[in-house]
Structure 1
Amino acid sequence: MHEIMDDMITPHPTLLLVDDDELYCRILGNALSKRGFSVLTAHNVQQALEVVGEVPPKYAVIDLNMPGDSGLVLIEKIHKLDPESHIVVLTGYASVATAVEAIKLGATHYLAKPADADEVLKALGKSEGDTGIEVKQQPMSPKRLEWEHIQKVLTENGGNISETARQLGLHRRTLQRKLQKRPVNE
């Protein structure tokens, strides 16, 4: 958090906000602008790459599940351009597998949607894990375990639904239906 406050002294650090939900993107973008960021917005990975060009943003807030390429692709590209960029991943489909993959690719924090500007600001200030975070003692439900396993296999296959369905022994359409459902929070 201290680093963000230091950046706020300099005129408007750049923040890239990428989310396919245009209304959410506009609202969050406005709130972050009011907090002193120069916000660049995009609604998919291709638009984000065009907006960024060869100059990576100091901060990025990236949705994982968008039409076209996954936000994981963008995380990797931004991190390669500037390993010091602070990247927060937002997703409506919080999954252990995708969180781990996002962190491996260079994200500094992971938030489930809907996250407000204060939560995003706090997450942007983190550069390492939090040992004080509460550990849940209750095991996951079978439905949640299934969701996590599907996400893990999908991530291992680079988002390829056909290959994931084959490996899981599911029909492709069945897998697509399962992916469209929100994960169980149990």
Structure 2
Amino acid sequence: MTESPVFDTADTDRTLLIVEDDKAFLQRLARAMELRGFEVETAGSIAEGLARVDGRPPAYAVVDMRLGDGNGLDVVEHLRAKRPDARTVILTGYGNIATAVTAVKLGAVDYLSKPADADEVMRALLRSDDDRAAPPENPMSADRVRWEHIQRVYELCERNVSETARRLNMHRRTLQRILAKRAPR
């Protein structure tokens, strides 16, 4: 692992809000970002994140897409309204093009798949708008992307196999076999 730069916070606003409902991941990421020179506040829910934005809109935010009480895009949109210059990164375990496009339209500067490490998050937050993201070292396989899409639709259909199969134009038994298997690499 490479050593990360520590920033001089005297001349720039390094306030960072992390909205994540996985407590262990939230604590690790918060500590790592503090070591990288950010002044970190955390929130474990959408409601808590919105309250933090209302109290003191941060310069940076890292927001989980799916939280127990709603969609992280609500926090992104609210932050953009309160502080248009804020830079936000979305984290998700359920990568999908439609939500990535929506996140960027609402003001997110990047969209990272979990598990993302602190260096990736920092690079995404601080990258200039002219810089392009480097291609991933280990991109998901086509089988994994398909599996993630099926899992997402399954969750959106409230874990109803018949409705998910209908929406995916797939036979119900085929879907059941796919759901019973482990995720591909």
**Fold agreement, TM-score > 0.5:** yes
Indicate the residue corresponding to 2:166 in structure 1. 169
Partner SS state of residue 109, structure 1:
strand
Aligned partners of 1:50, 1:21: CA distance in 2, in Å? 19
Does residue 22 of structure 2 align to residue 26 of structure 1? Answer: no
Counterpart code for 2:34: S
Give the secondary-structure state (helix, strand or coil) at the position aligned to 1:15: strand
> Could you say which structure has the larger radius of gyration?
2
Contact 1:96–1:148 (CA under 8 A) maintained in structure 2:
no
| CA offsets 1:94-129 (integer angstroms, 9 cap, x no match) | 222221111111100111111121111111012436
| Corresponding residue number in structure 1 for 2:80 | 79
- Aligned in 2, Cα 1:52/1:182: closer, same or farther, shift over 3 Å? farther
Q: Aligned equivalents of 2:18 and 2:77: distance in 1? A: 15
Percent of paired sites with the same residue: 36
**Counterparts of 1:140 and 1:22 in 2: how far apart (Å)?**
30
**Aligned alpha-carbon RMSD (Å):** 3.9
In the alignment of these two chains, the number of paired residues is: 169
Shift of 1:183: 7.2
Q: Is the 8 A contact 1:62 1:71 kept in 2?
A: yes
Going from structure 1 to structure 2, the CA distance change for 1:161 and 1:105 (only over 3 Å counts) comes to: farther
Structure 2 gap ranges (5+): none
What does residue 142 of structure 2 align with? 140
Q: Which runs of 5+ in 1 are unaligned?
A: none
C-alpha distance in 2, partners of 1:126/1:167?
38
Alpha-carbon separation, structure 1, partners of 2:106 and 2:151: 20
Measured in 2, the distance between the counterparts of 1:13 and 1:125 equals 10
Cα separation, partners in 2 of 1:91 and 1:13, compared to 1, 3 Å: same
Query: Scaled by the length of structure 2, what TM-score is found?
Result: 0.71
Q: Could you report, residue by residue, the CA deviation over 1:50-69 in whole angstroms, capped at 9, with x for unpaired residues?
A: 12215311000000011111
Which gives a bigger RCO, structure 1 or 2 (Cα 8 Å, sep 6+)?
Answer: 1
Answer whether contact 2:30 2:42 (CA < 8 A) is retained: yes
